[in-house]
Chains A and B, each alone.
Chain A
Amino acid sequence: MNFFRLSHWNPSVFLVISTLAVLSGCAPDVAPQRESTPDVDRSLRTGEAQGLRVFGEIPAFSLTDQHGEPFDRSQLDGSIWVATFVFTRCGATCPYQTAAFTELQQTLQRADEWGKVQLVSFTVDPEFDTPEVLTEYGNKAGADFEHWHFLTGDRSSLWDLSKDGFKLDVQSGRDATNLIAHSSLFVLVDQDSKIRGYYEGLSPEANKKLLEDVRELLDQQDPTRRDRVTEVSVPRDVRDPKWLEPRARAQRALAPGYDVTCDFQFTDTLSASGITFKDNVVDDVKRDFKAAHYDHGSAVSVADVDQDGLLDLYFVCQLGSNQLWRNLGGGKFENITESAGVAVADEVSTGASFADVDNDGDADLYVTRVRAPNRLFLNDGTGVFEDVSEESGLDHVGHSSGAVFFDYDRDGLLDLLLTNVGEYTTQQRGPGGYYLAYKAAFTGHLFPERAEPNILFRNLGDARFENVNEKVGFDDVSWSGDATPIDGNDDGWPDIYLLSMQGHDQYFENQQGKGFVSKGLKLFPNSAWGSMGVKVFDFNRDSRLDLYVTDMHTDMVHDVEPENEKQKMTRNLPISMLATDGNHILGNAFYLKDGKDSYREVSDKIGAENYWPWGISVADLNADGFEDVFITASMNFDFRYGINSVLLNDHGKRFLDSEFILGVEPRAKGTAQLWMELDCDGADAKHRLCEGRSGKIHVWGAAGSRSSVVFDIENDGDLDIVTNDFGGTPMVLTSNLTDNHDVHALSVELVGTRSNRDGLGALVDVQVGEEHLISVHDGKSGYLSQSRMPMYVGLGDAAQADSVTVTWPSGIVQTLPGPIPSNQKLTIVEEGEIAE
């Protein structure tokens, strides 16, 4: 019998069982030897009208518990307890009484009140109900025997206790040989063994009152409880997942066998940094959790906004002010949001992209938002920004997401590809003024009227932009969160790989700046269905630029156990929901470039899979000449914890899982964060987490990152990582690589003259001996973000580069002859003639 599945909450069950109980006394063979009922007024049962009055006192008793150990009343002294009388062979009321006790146990456990309150089930069938039988019975009921006791003893003792102690109706004789006909009442007893209430065990209402009265007694016992805050973890082990440490140990044990530099550590230096930013998220993904695109979070980007040689940080959040933190050097930052004028505190922000849109040599900023005009800020060169959104033509209103600056027509001006998710919100506003999401936001892509076009804006000069979708034939309404330029056909013109978070990714071939042709299914016939992050880089140093795509939405469909995170999902959603040809990679995709317009998917072969991934940051974390990967991950409340991934590049052959080895995991701040506070006696009384709880509760949910950026915070020669964690505080993961190693690397800053000022789209080839370390300068790092920062090229053991060749978007190919000593910042100004 599964007591948990029995429901005594069904009124018809209550009526039928109550009737049976009355007719049969729950003991079919009972002899009609009715004893007189003690003189106790239980007419009110719960004493509701009289407060918690005292009905009598439980006398001392000595019985035997389910383990065969002696159990007497003194073991309950000081505890509040609830008693009932049952027997294991009973098929009438007892299963429902026991099921109600199981529920009560669970409710008390959830509220952290278990132990302060104990349960006692007395048998009325002592001859049959031996300790062994009671143990089995209790196990089936899911009883925690530490605080739920099943007691037996000699018949007369139990009879006396039932009738004289608990003052319950007893319809069988004291010396009879049949069962003791028992009551289905629950009896509440206080810490002084005083009876404080009777409750019909089969009545849902009475049991609710019982719980209230239990808590009233607990409050009387400890008045400070009234101000208590109960800690609730969702899921229960989220603050200490049992799988995490064994996994960490297993990974660390592999480190000695790694043929890559991995003997360095990242340390979270947030508190020392002075950064106090906290990501405030909307209630749709917090208090009133629903699966909606607000859970994609927001960006973190970097740029040297005041041109002091240090990279500054811009954090985006959903509610309240975005924040710009100026790098003071030495790992310290100060908040300059107000003076910079980039708070964007109204409405919900999502993405942030730094780029020099007016070619004046400083970092301008574009902020995307949800159903509010996107904002373009021009920098005056000192870190003070002017809002030129309206006149720029970039004040698009939609459900905007990632924005990517690149020069599609190679005219020397940065154009903009703006991705828009699609209409996932209703007309109603929630707390803080955000638009409430549809309850079924993730079917949005099945409603054509909810689609929003992704838009290509051409830069006309003077920070004026024009939507050229029609002019260039860029026609796409994918539910997209990000995109990247990529030169698939090696013709020097940037093509577009556009992510679809709910469908096939798209690829648009650039027709030499004059138009675009869709070739997605031809080049990438089986893309990931739920694409989220993307980065182009040369994985295996074959001088071809490969493509890495993370897939988040596929991972949302089914739970994956921690030990299976490196495997693909075994199935996706039904085809009706996919709304595609169903030909998808069920997880991350890694396309190794074989040649012009030719890619080979190798994600499983090289270990590129992970779980719940968002954005990708690619950088040479150990400066060995092969670019590594940091992937933000985890889904936050109410899912289990998920780790961020660090994939060290094993000489272009495969990725090595290294997040635990390098100290990135477990997060120093813990696997969970305080997600929300609920007032179960007040405004949140109807919240599902307040069911069975009272007072204030603090709900803990999993920590999770969304966006990240990898750069050298302190200019000490190694790369650090900063994240924007969803609904939480960021991580400032500072590397100590240069403390332990003689690192050889070059920092390369490009200054375009004929090309766009930032040199975005330039190919940089650092030659070291026979090796060509190719990188594309695209500013991409992390989800929803674009940063303006120098390129970092690790040289491995080489103390110098033999040459650096830049292929500019203008077509100019410029070579700096070597030797070029490592550990310096090269500023390369575009010059020369365009090569044929």
Chain B
Amino acid sequence: MAANLRSTFAVAAALIAAGVAFSIGWRGLREEPALTHLDVKVVGLDYHLYFHYPGTDAVLGTSDDRLGSRNFFAPANASVDLNLTSRDFVYLVEIPEVGLYEVAAPGLEFKTRIETGDSGVHSLLGSQMCGYDHPELIGDFVVQRSADFRRTVRKLSPAPLPANRTQ
């Protein structure tokens, strides 16, 4: 009886150990590398800032792009290349924490790069240049661990096709 019990415990222990090992190994296999670079397109329209992120293919400008507005998400410790434009007015886009101070203007594309730094939430200060106040242009710059960032982007809506005016 005791031997049987020992045997049962041994089998169970072995199974658990194998399960744990498999789990660790599987996670290791599945874990994606940390993002060190990101391309984002920023579009001003109707007193909102829209952020276009690359989707799972990691390439901006394809059909699986994702679209967010107001808050801007980025992976931690990464370089982010921003391409800013507008469909109507001139917007100032500023993130003091990372030294971003740029303009989104119709018919023009301004490129700039920021280094995101550690995870955290910072102020994103958008404004219409020389225009009314628009609270919708004020949001957060959310810097996340790469895995969290990926999850965030996956939850965003698909970006409209290039023909759409927010593209």
The interface of chain A, by Cβ under 8 A from chain B, is 289-291, 439-440, 442-443, 446-447, 556-557, 571, 573-574, 576-577, 638, 688
Contacts and interface: CB of A to CB of B under 8 A. Distances in A.
Main secondary structure of the interface of A (DSSP, over half): loop
A556 B129 CA distance: 8
Interface residues of B, number: 18
A571 B92 CA distance: 13
Given A291-B90, A573-B103, A576-B103, A442 B132 contact: no
B131 interface: yes
Contacts, number: 54
B129 A447 contact: no
A442 B101 contact: no
Given A440-B106, A446-B108, A447-B107, A556 B89 contact: no
A576 B110 contact: yes
B90 A440 contact: yes
A446 B102 contact: no
Given A443-B90, A574-B102, A574-B103, A290 B131 contact: yes
A829 B147 CA distance: 86
Given A439-B88, A440-B105, A574-B103, 16 more contacts: A290-B89, A290-B131, A440-B86, A440-B88, A442-B90, A443-B105, A443-B108, A446-B108, A573-B92, A574-B102, A574-B110, A576-B102, A576-B103, A576-B110, A577-B103, A577-B105
Nearest to B130: A291
A442 B106 contact: no
A275 B118 CA distance: 65
A439 B89 contact: yes
13 contacts: A290-B131, A291-B129, A291-B131, A440-B88, A440-B89, A440-B106, A440-B107, A443-B106, A556-B129, A556-B130, A576-B103, A576-B110, A577-B90
Contacts of A289: 131-132
A443 B107 contact: yes
Nearest to A573: B103
Contacts of B92: 557, 573-574
B102 to A, nearest CB: 5
Contacts of A557: 92, 129-130
Contacts of B129: 291, 442, 556-557, 573
Contacts of B103: 443, 573-574, 576-577
Interface string B98-138: 00011101111010100000000000000001111000000
Interface in B47-96: 86, 88-90, 92
A293 to B, nearest CB: 11
Contacts of A556: 129-130
A429 to B, nearest CB: 19
Nearest to B128: A291
A638 B92 CA distance: 18
Given A290-B89, A576-B102, A577-B103, A442 B130 contact: yes
A501 B69 CA distance: 33
A446, A577, A638: most-surrounded residue (chain B CB, <10 A):
A577
B50 to A, nearest CB: 17
Contact of B132 (A443, A571, A638): A638
B105 A446 contact: yes
B101 to A, nearest CB: 5
